[in-house]
Chain A
Amino acid sequence: MSSSVLDEQNFHHCCQLLLQQSEQLKDGWSWEAVQSGLAAPVDADSIEGDIDDKEGEDEGACTVSEGSSQVLQYEYHIVYSCSYCTPVLYFRAFTLEGKSLSLEEVWSSVHPNFRLRLQNSPLNTITLQEHPLLGQPFFMIHPCRTEQFMRPVLQAAQDQHRPVNYVLSWLSVVGPMVGLDVPLKYSTQLHPTASLSSTKPD
């Protein structure tokens, strides 16, 4: 039976695979084990780019304000939610001076293509929440629709008898909405050598 949710053990497994690939690609993800066993990979990279509001300049650029040019630093965490049985993306963003971005500023940095879709249902979008392990404010993409969009992905993988990394596939959907690009190389390296076992949809 194809399940579109993820149990915690599988989450750990998917994250380990992702970490191995991240190490090879030097992409900066790391695993933080918090007391009592729940853990969250952290992207220690800073996503930097020139920000300006010219149209068409879209390469990970974020429009923050008219005519200004700033570099933003993002921090991403993937945390497992046992309530929804899915991974959840938490992130925060600062200017280089350490000033946090507001929710409005984060929204204006979301690509217009995504923005309309997300804003249609306010509960299923980006909100400011307390990080469940660190207790500090982070932005979060609400997980209640994850199962819905993962279902066809997992079904297709099962039909074609190929392995899929739940966390990686999920991240490639939600990450780009909030400035996190998932390089294609992650999936081209997905087919493992004999020493690794891949995640099979069950």
Chain B
Amino acid sequence: MADDKDVLRDVWFGRIPTCFTLNQDEVTEREAEPYYLLLPRVSYLTLVTDKVKKHFLKVMKAEDVEEMWFEYEGTPLKWHYPIGVLFDLHASNTVLPWSITVHFKNFPDRDLLHCPSSSIVEAHFMSSIKEADALKHKSQVVNDMQKKDHKQLYRELGLNWYRSADKFDQFWAMNRKLMEYSTEDGGFRYIPFRIYQTMSDRPFIQKLFRPVSPDGNVHTLGDLLKEMDPTALPNDGVVFNIFPPVCLRRSFMSLTLSLCFSLLSSLFRRVSRPR
């Protein structure tokens, strides 16, 4: 478990340098300077951009400000995806810092979920935890928790955990409950995961996948990918950029699953090996 934890720390503390620029069509009282921020990979845009909002509101009138939303090269950014996934999906080939455009008008409600308050983020987050728990333990863990535990779970896992090093250990203590195996079932029922692909009609692939094969062999990440999208896995030299970094040990996979809010957001895209 020791080296698993090291990888986890790397993911936990992973940051993306980002430059926020105000959309030039916004009405401002004076010129708006861009705002720079290091975004944590494992958080959500709406949780970490209060400072961005404050910065731009300084140059705008209140009546010109509606719900804030973000866009990268014309694509509205889905706040309910982890930041690392958004970056890997949309911008992994670009030069850093990642340039995001900030909007305060014309919210694209056919593309983006509204996020008027942090309680919406909390609800979304807890919904993911519940769904992952349904897959892993048939919802036993989350249902056995009391409401106050749900609140604490969100606090530890959601709100502040990315902010400081000591929070990592607190997170892990809280998260242990979600990762513990039920001895009667002998492990997770199914692995909670999602695969995001750059070229796809569907937002993501999410299907049932058992951690162990019928003959008792432990499944690896490679097995999972093969089953979920065999067409994306040619045999010759393919590199996967997976968030978090790939490792084929199942225990690692389980741990990283837990890190990504117990519902793994795993991105892969094909990068052909140079000949």
Contact = CB atoms under 8 A, between A and B. Distances in A.
Interface of A: 34-36, 82-84, 100, 102-103, 122-123, 127-137, 142, 144
Chain B interface extent, by class: 20 to 34
B179 to A, nearest CB: 18
A35 B201 contact: yes
B202 A123 contact: no
Interface of B: 78, 80, 109-114, 120, 123-124, 126-127, 130-131, 134-135, 139, 192, 201-208
B123 A122 contact: yes
Given A82-B208, A135-B202, A127 B112 contact: no
A79 to B, nearest CB: 12
Contact of B127 (A127, A135, A137): A127
Given A35-B202, A123-B126, A142-B127, A83 B112 contact: no
Interface secondary structure of A, over-half rule: loop
Nearest to B204: A132
B163 to A, nearest CB: 25
A130 B203 contact: yes
**Sorted from nearest, which 7 A-B pairs have the closest CB atoms?**
A135-B203, A83-B131, A100-B109, A137-B113, A83-B134, A128-B113, A82-B208
B61 to A, nearest CB: 24
Given A123-B123, A123-B126, A123-B127, A82 B206 contact: yes
A144 B139 contact: yes
B114 A128 contact: yes
B139 A82 contact: no
Contacts of A82: 206-208
B131 A132 contact: no
Contacts of A144: 130, 134, 139
A130 B80 contact: yes
B68 to A, nearest CB: 16
Contact of A36 (B113, B130, B202): B202
Contacts of B130: 123, 144
A132 B203 contact: yes
Given A84-B134, A123-B126, A103 B111 contact: no
Nearest to A5: B138
Given A35-B201, A123-B126, A130-B203, A137 B111 contact: yes
A130 B113 contact: yes
Nearest to A125: B123
Given A83-B135, A123-B130, A137 B110 contact: yes
